Amino acid sequence: MKQYVVDAFTDSVFHGNQAAVCVLDHWPDEELMLNITRENNFSETAFTVKEGEKWHLRWFTPGGEIDLCGHATLGTAYVLFRFFEKDVQKLVFTTLSGDLIVTKNGDLLEMEFPAYDLEPVEVTDAMTEAIGVRPIEAYMARDLLCVLDDEKKVRELIPNLEKIKQIDGLLVHVTAKGKEADCVSRSFAPKLAIPEDPVCGSGHCHIIPYWADLLGKDELIAYQASKRGGTLYCRREGSKIFLAGKAALYSIDELFVDLF
């Protein structure tokens, strides 16, 4: 069984966000997929099977299956375009979040995702204790979005991961207006056994709607300020968020596991 390791939202290895991609003929047992994910210990491992004209795509974290993941979708599309679907310009993935489309756009791969509807929530002491700095605003959708007044605070904050587990939201994203990019962010997911997600695509389905409204523009460049770092080229069209980025192949592995 082949497994591809791809660094997403970067054009060079050792940057961006790592995703393992397993392209399969049929679905293995769910427990095996979770064990492979835990063995990899990346933030996500993707599994995909072609069903008709579409590819069925599932994402697993070490903590379990999730409903949306940007960087592992980008990594999967990169693998399929390069090794399995060399003559197509567009891929359609069937996922827990509905059909997701990835299109070649020059040297970028552009993903079409649903935007999350953000609801403003009260800034609490619990949020401040969890992320280590007091937000000026906070919003809730699937994840909690905390807005800071200074990019430097985003880059330098040291979160309390145990306290992040105790506040609402599957993930916690912290963001501020950027100097070289339109916005800067970091993403934390200890509830999914991921201390910090290096570059979080689904997080930007929260982050981009906020900044698009505040900055009054629908095309933005976003930078994820983790240690690995990553750049996302984003645009909003109605209820859709388009996230584009590059990817780099790190390895092709042979997994010695029984799929039956």
Number of domains into which the chain is organized: 2
Q: Please, which residues have CB within 8 angstroms of residue 87's CB and are 6 or more apart in sequence?
A: none
SS (HEC) of 7-30:
EECCCCCCCCEEEEEEEECCCCCH
DSSP string of 198-215?
A: SS-TTTHHHHHHHHHHHH
Asked if residue 91 and residue 21 are part of one domain, the reply reads yes
Asked if residue 147 and residue 75 are part of one domain, the reply reads no
Is pLDDT above 90 for 236?
Answer: yes
Asked if residue 128 and residue 76 are part of one domain, the reply reads no
260 assigned to some structural domain: no
DSSP 115: P
pLDDT in tens, 110-160: 999 989 999 999 999 999 999 999 999 999 999 999 999 999 999 999 999
- The confidence band for 105, taking pLDDT boundaries of 50, 70 and 90, is confident
Question: To the nearest whole number, what is the mean pLDDT of the chain?
Answer: 95
Instruction: Name which of 3, 89, 106 is nearest 46 in CA terms.
Output: 3
Asked if residue 17 and residue 124 are part of one domain, the reply reads no
249 assigned to some structural domain: yes
Is pLDDT above 90 for 257?
Answer: no
| pLDDT (mean) for 199-218 | 95
The structure's pTM equals: 0.86
Asked if residue 193 and residue 160 are part of one domain, the reply reads yes
Are the CB atoms for 237 and 230 separated by under 8 Å?
no
68 vs 233: CA distance, rounded Å:
18
Active site residues: 44
Is pLDDT above 80 for 260?
Answer: no
Asked if residue 124 and residue 86 are part of one domain, the reply reads no
Percent of the chain with pLDDT over 90: 92
221 assigned to some structural domain: yes
CATH of the domain at 61: 3.10.310.10
Instruction: Name which of 256, 196, 191 is nearest 230 in CA terms.
Output: 196
Domain interval for residue 32: 2-113+244-254
Asked if residue 185 and residue 108 are part of one domain, the reply reads no
